[in-house]
């Protein structure tokens, strides 16, 4: 069995829950995670490095090495496709969500009933506020539901290039072919997203740890997904 930088621990493919634990098996996990957290503070370049580092972590797991890649400025080209994909999809999602919310609110306000004296109906706030909360909840559920495309999106982008990030037919095929694995991987990917933001509650100092750790965890989720997805689900 090959090793990597003298610190790799050969490992078989493990359970989905092991995604939380595998980064800590690297004897140098703390230094690597915190240093990558510092690198991640650099606008744009930092996120290129972090996404490339996450994919490099996935490469290590593909080789059976439960070791984090070294913290360094060497991963930008590895992460550029995923960074571009996340930026484009993020902008599209923002336009769709906030644009739809704006249109819906404008429609509700324009349809507000008017009382005989020219003022707004006193009952209108009791109608519009529940509708607004319901609409916000609906968009939240849609966001969570759309997270199911994240695992195949990352894998297709990594394997086939930037075009794979917009292969909607490929996402649908992967989810339909292996629905249980797709949903399970999406659920843990969503957990990693929430973990990444936990550091903001510690005067933002904690993000030096939580963001790189969440990406390392995501690499474990993606490796589990690659191994356990049904044959033909992924390219």
Segment 149-173 shows an average pLDDT of 95
Measuring CA to CA, which residue among 14, 13, 32 is closest to residue 23? 32
Q: Given the structure tokens 């993020």, which residue do they identify?
A: 90
What are the tens digits of pLDDT across the range 196-213?
Answer: 988 777 767 788 999 999
Alpha carbon of residue 29 to chain centroid = 21
pLDDT at res. 143: 72
* DSSP string for the chain: ---STTT--B-----GGGGGTGGGGSTTHHHHHHHHHHHTTSTTHHHHHHHHHHHHHHHHHHTTB--PPPPSS--HHHHHHHHHHHHHHHHHHHHHHHHHHHHHHHHHHHT--B-TTSSBPTTHHHHHHHHHHHHHHHHHHHHHHHGGGHHHHHHHHHHH-GGGGG-HHHHHHHHHHSHHHHHHHHHHHHHHHHHHTGGGGTTTTTHHHHHHHHHHHHHHHHHHHHHHSPTTS--
| Whole-Å CA distances, 225 to 69, 230, 232 | 20, 9, 13
Q: How far apart are CA 211 and CA 224, in angstroms?
A: 20
Measuring CA to CA, which residue among 56, 64, 78, 74 is closest to residue 25? 64
pLDDT at res. 205: 76
Q: How confident is the model at residue 49 (pLDDT cuts 50, 70, 90)?
A: very high
Distance separating the N- and C-terminal Cα atoms of the chain: 27
What are the tens digits of pLDDT across the range 87-131?
Answer: 999 898 888 777 777 776 776 666 555 545 544 555 555 566 666
What are the tens digits of pLDDT across the range 175-198?
Answer: 999 999 999 999 999 999 999 988
Enumerate the β-bridge partners of residue 120. Answer: 114
């Amino acid at each position: 069995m090959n090793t990597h930088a003298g610190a790799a621990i050969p490992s078989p493919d493990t359970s989905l829950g092991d995604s939380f634990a595998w980064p800590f098996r690297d004897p140098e996990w703390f230094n690597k995670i915190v240093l990558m957290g510092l690198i991640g503070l650099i606008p744009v370049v930092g996120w290129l490095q972090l996404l490339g580092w996450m994919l490099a972590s996935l490469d290590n797991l593909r080789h059976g090495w439960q070791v984090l890649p070294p913290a360094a400025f060497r991963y930008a080209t590895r992460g550029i496709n995923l960074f571009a994909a996340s930026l484009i999809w993020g902008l599209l999602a923002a336009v769709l969500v906030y644009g739809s919310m704006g249109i819906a609110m404008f429609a509700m306000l324009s349809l507000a009933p008017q009382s005989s004296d020219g003022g707004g109906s006193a009952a209108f706030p009791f109608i519009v506020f529940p509708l607004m909360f319901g609409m916000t909840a609906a968009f939240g559920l849609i966001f969570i539901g759309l997270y199911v495309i994240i695992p195949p999106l990352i894998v297709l982008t990594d394997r086939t290039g930037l075009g794979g990030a917009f292969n909607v037919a490929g996402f649908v095929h992967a989810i339909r072919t292996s629905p249980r694995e797709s949903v399970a991987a999406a659920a843990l990917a969503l957990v990693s997203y929430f973990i990444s933001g936990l550091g903001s509650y510690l005067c933002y100092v904690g993000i030096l740890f939580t963001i790189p750790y969440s990406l390392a965890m995501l690499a474990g989720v993606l490796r589990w997904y690659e191994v356990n997805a049904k044959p033909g689900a992924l390219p």
